[in-house]
Structure 1
């Protein structure tokens, strides 16, 4: 959750208005790839979204959706929140991983790619807020239904931020 496009507010909007959707999407994606730890990296200056995500993660733990044996399964998942330093370069996935590890947020040479050797040398999937926030809806309604919301050449939905000299910015 470190929007790298200048003027973009879609991640912040999603986190402030639907933090549970992001946490649920991260949990589903983690389960799908067999991951047991998910990190939500958030800009340092995003105070309200940070608090809302922290509360959403705590609520998911309290209800038994996260942690050891969610839903009575043998699976375990820990979703953690990491407050970044707000550097623009963190929009580049390997720079974000460097920052997550407590290092200077500089892009890594590739290969290896994060899917092979990412955070702390482990295979890592990096997704954005918008993508993960769509996962719960797709799981409930199906991929075909999601694809109907797009165009022939661009299936599904896409959020944009409208700013500048316009009547309704956002």
Structure 2
């Protein structure tokens, strides 16, 4: 976990103030908490019983994670290796080529809700436009990373790796006997 978190922070080039997680034990553990203390990061969690605290993150999970690799449980070393390769490429597509709109304001008049959004921009464009938070070295690194990228080629690589992941998953499941096989006589 610590190596994955360090790698993620290093890739972004944006200073982190903290980590916000879901309430599950797969997210909240002493190892992560101690690591956050060592790295001087705040560690917060969603409020227990409030399902919609992580709605934005959950929406991104569906949009990016689930649409890319589906709903299967991937738990073999081979699947992990393929997932890491997929996410390395998907990160480039999402951050450099997928424009997003940010909600600026929301007003309610009676039963009607009016939402105003800013102009669509990719996360890469937003980082370059940032004046105060992101260091110039991070912007330079991202610009160098962006120049040679070909979104169509990256998408084809993601699709090929995803097909390989699905094949690997199906083969692994075919070799594993059912855990709770029942026999009725």
Q: Do the structures match in fold with TM over 0.5?
A: no
Q: Which of structures 1 and 2 has the bigger CA Rg?
A: 2
Task: Give the helix-richer structure, 1 or 2.
Answer: 2
Asked which structure has the greater RCO (Cα within 8 Å, sep 6+), the reply is 1
